[in-house]
Structure 1
Amino acid sequence: MRVLFVAHGASHVPWAVPLAWATQLAGHEVRIAARPQSVDRVKAAGLVAVPVGRRDAGDAFAGWRIPDAAERPERLPDDWPMGPLDWPEERRLSWGSQLIGLADSLADDVVAFARAWRPDLVVYDIGAVAGLVGAAAAGVPAVGFSWCQPVGLYFLDEKEVPPAYLRMFQRFGLEPRIGTDTWIDPCPPALRRPSRVPRVPVRYTPYNGPGEVPDWLLRTSGRPRVCVTGGITTTNFNDRQPQLLDELAGLDAEVLLAVKDLDTGGRPLPDNVRPTGWVPLGVLLQGCRALVHHGGAGSGMTGLAHGIPQIVVPETDDNTQWLWGDLMADSGAGINLDRSRQAEPGALAAAVTAVLEDPGHTERARAIQAEIQAMPAPAELVGYLESRAAA
C-alpha cells in the first residue's frame, strides 16, 4: 500500500511522524508532501519528503492565493472552529479563506505527485485540504489527521461550499469532495469538543525532533524544575525575554529556558535560569514539575503526555493558542494567563507558583495522561488505514 501524507506547516509535521513511521514499519510505502519550510523536519525524522508549494521557504505565506470577498464562503458550519473560541463570523470566514488559499497554492504540486505516484490512500492534515484535491486526483479515499485543534476546513452541506473551493477541484477536472470523511484524532476525552465529524482516536506519541541528552539534565538541584518554551514556530517569548527573565528570577525553582535565539541584551541570566539550547521538548520535560508555553498544541500535548501541568501565555486573544489556554483552564490541568493578566507585574511568577503548590493541577494533568495512554497506539491505526484504502 502506498500512503501519501500531506502536512500543513513546520509545527504540524511532528503530528504525522508517529503514524507515518507506524505505517512504514508495517511494510507500506510512505511519502510526506510538505511545504518548503517543512521539508527539513520531514527528512530529520527519517522519512521521505515531497516538496510542494513555492520554494520561498522564508515566507510562510509565499504563493497563497487568498480568495477575494466574492469567492469567500457565505457561512461556515456552526461548529467550525469548535471549542471556546469566541471568533466573530468575519474572523471565521477569513480563516476559512486562508485555508482555501493555502490549499490552492499547494494543489498543483500535490495533484502532480498524486497522479504520478498513485497512492492508495491520502492522510492529510486537516489544515491542509490540498490533500483532498490530491486524493480526488488519484481517485482514492482521504482521511483527515487532527492536531488536537478543531480548526480544519470541511463542508457538510453543498450550500456552504464557496466558489473558490469548488474551483480548486474543477481546474483539474475533478469532482469536488464535499461532506466530511473521518478524522484521526489524538485529542484525549477530557479535551475533546463535540463535533459532527466522525473521529477515530489515536494515542498522542510525542515526537519533538532529533537531539541528544545533555549531561546537565541528569543532575538535579533539589528545587522543582520548570520548563519555559515558545515552541518551534513562534517568536512570542523571544520578544518578551526581559519580562520573562525578571519574573523567573524570583521563582524558587530551576528554570529550563528553551527559547529560540536567546538574546538577553547583555544582561546576565538569573542564577536559577539555564538556557538549554536545542533539546527535544519531551526530553527536557522528564523530571519537570510545570511547563510554561505559548499555547501551541504540540507543546501542550507533549506536556500532558508526561503528566505535567501548564501555564499558558498566548500571544494573542483570537487564535488557537488562546484555545489551548482555555482547554487547560477548563480541564483544571493548568492556568491560562490572558493578555490583560500578562501585563500585571509578577503574574507569571504567581501562576507558576500556584501550579507548583496546588496538587490539583498535577492530579488533573496526570489523569489526562492516563487517558492518552489508554488510546490506541499509532501501530493499531495501520489496520484502519489499510481498510480505508481497500474500501
Structure 2
Amino acid sequence: MLPLGRALQDAGHEVLVATAGEAAVADLDGLPVEDVAPQFSYLSTGLRMALRHPLLTRAERKGTAGTRAAALTFGSVNDQLADGLVALAERWRPDLVVHDPLAVAGALAAATAGVPAVLLDNTLIGGPDLAAVTAARFRRSRGLPPAAATISIAPPSVVGSRPGLPMRFLPYGEQADLPDWLTRPPSRPRIAVDLGRPGSRPLMSRAIAAVEAIDADLVLIEPETHLPQPPRAGSAGPVPLAAVLRHCAAVIHQAEASGVLAALHAGVPQLAVNGNSAHRHNAAAVARRGAALAADDLDITTDLVTRLITDPSLATNAAEVEAEMAAMPDPAQLVSHLEEVRESAAR
C-alpha cells in the first residue's frame, strides 16, 4: 500500500493514509496519516472474538478455520472504523479510495464521497473473495458498490492468475540501517529467524535451537516493543525483515503474507511455519511453488533447516519467483491506470 501511495504522491497527487491503532503514527514512510478511531484496539477486538467464539478460535489456531475467523474479526474492525472513515471522506473529499480486502469500510468511504474504490489485494488468499466474506460480517455493507478496479501483488506462479492489474511487491523498510556485524561478509550461512509479533519467541524456539545446532549463524529479528531489551548474540533488533534478507541465505518466519512476499522479493529460500489459517494457506502456496519448505513448529528439526540452506532447488525456484516479481509493473506504472479509473467514473 505504501509504495503505491508514494508513487501517487510523487506524481503530484495528495495522499492520506486512514488507519487506527498502532499504525496511526505521525506519518508512514513520508505519507500523512489520519487516525480515524483513536480508541481502537486490535488486541481488544481479537480478545472479544476469542471469548465469544471459542470453537472458532480453536479452529483458527489449528489453521482449519479458513476465512471465517478473519472475516468475523475484521468485520468488527470495520464496524469500529466506519464512522471515522465516513467523517474523513465527507471532510477531505477524496477523488479515489484504495483499500485492502480486510478494510471494506474503505468502500463505504468511497461511496460516501461518490468516488471509485480500488481493491488492492495484498494477500495470497484472493482479495475479492476475502473482501466479500469480510463485508458479510460488516454491519454497514448494504449497498456497497463493487470495486472499480483490482490490483494484485502476488506472483502468478505462486497463486495462479488473478483478475485485475498486477503490481510489483516492494517490501517495507528494505533500505533500513542494520548493525555493522550484519553487513559484513559472512563466514558461513546466515539464517534469519523472524519472531514476528511480541510474545512469539516460544513458538519459534525450535527453529532457533535448530539453527544454533548446525553450521550456520542465527540472525534473530526481534519484534517491535516499547521496552528496553538486553542485547542478544545474533540479534538484529527490531528491524524490517526485508532489510535483513539482503544479508542472509535463508529465513524462517511465521508465514504472514508480508514475510512470504519479502523473501520471494529477495530470492531467499524460506521455511514458512504453519500457524493460523492464513499462515497455513500462505505456507502451502509458496511450498507448492518449490521456493519454500512448510512445517508445523513442532516438526522443525536440524535436518529440515539444513535442507533449507543446501537444497539447490529451493534457491533456484526462489530466484525464479524473484525475477517474476521484478518483471511486474512498478507502482509508478499504475498511477495512470488509477487516474483513468477516476476520470471514467467522473464522466
TM-score by length of 1: 0.75
**Quick one: which of 195, 203, 228 aligns to 2:193?**
228
Moved more, 373-382 or 51-60: 51-60
Deviation at 1:324, TM superposition (A): 1.3
**Quick one: which of 317, 320, 326 aligns to 2:278?**
320
Amino acid at match of 1:184: I
**Quick one: which of 168, 171, 191 aligns to 2:140?**
168
Tell me which residue corresponds to 2:322: 369
Deviation at 1:63, TM superposition (A): 11
- Aligned partners of 2:126 and 2:80: how far apart in 1? 19
1:200 paired to 2:175: no
Higher helix share: 2
**Quick one: which of 41, 45, 49 aligns to 2:33?**
49
1:380 paired to 2:343: no
Amino acid at match of 1:225: R
**Quick one: which of 270, 274, 290 aligns to 1:332?**
290
Q: Is the 8 A contact 1:64 1:101 kept in 2?
A: no
Tell me which residue corresponds to 2:250: 290
- Aligned partners of 1:332 and 1:371: how far apart in 2? 14
- Aligned partners of 1:161 and 1:244: how far apart in 2? 37
Tell me which residue corresponds to 2:206: 243
- Aligned partners of 2:270 and 2:28: how far apart in 1? 28
- Aligned partners of 2:205 and 2:132: how far apart in 1? 45
Give 4+ residue runs of structure 1 displaced > 6 Å after superposition.
62-66
- Aligned partners of 1:377 and 1:355: how far apart in 2? 30
- CA distance 1:333–1:179, change in 2 (3 Å): same
- Aligned partners of 1:261 and 1:169: how far apart in 2? 34
Q: Percent identity?
A: 30
1:185 paired to 2:152: yes
Tell me which residue corresponds to 1:82: none
| Residues 155-199 of structure 1, C-alpha deviations (whole Å, 9 max, x = no match) | 49xxx985x64x5156xxxxx12445432111011112456xx32
Tell me which residue corresponds to 1:7: none
| Residues 204-246 of structure 1, C-alpha deviations (whole Å, 9 max, x = no match) | 1111377413211222341011111023x3643x124553443
- Aligned partners of 2:186 and 2:141: how far apart in 1? 59
Deviation at 1:279, TM superposition (A): 2.6
- Aligned partners of 1:62 and 1:299: how far apart in 2? 22
Amino acid at match of 1:97: L
Tell me which residue corresponds to 2:56: none
Q: Is the 8 A contact 1:31 1:48 kept in 2?
A: yes
- Aligned partners of 1:139 and 1:337: how far apart in 2? 46
- Aligned partners of 1:311 and 1:62: how far apart in 2? 27
Tell me which residue corresponds to 1:149: 124
- Aligned partners of 1:59 and 1:358: how far apart in 2? 39
- CA distance 1:22–1:261, change in 2 (3 Å): closer
Tell me which residue corresponds to 1:343: 298
**Map 1:73-152 → 2, pairs under 5 A:** 87=64, 92-150=67-125, 152=127
Deviation at 1:53, TM superposition (A): 2.2
1:304 paired to 2:273: no
TM-score by length of 2: 0.84
1:260 paired to 2:223: yes
CA RMSD of aligned residues (A): 3.1
- Aligned partners of 1:139 and 1:280: how far apart in 2? 37
Amino acid at match of 1:283: A
1:22 paired to 2:2: no
- Aligned partners of 2:70 and 2:147: how far apart in 1? 18
- Aligned partners of 2:202 and 2:325: how far apart in 1? 33
- Structure 2: 5+ residue runs without aligned partners? 54-61, 226-230
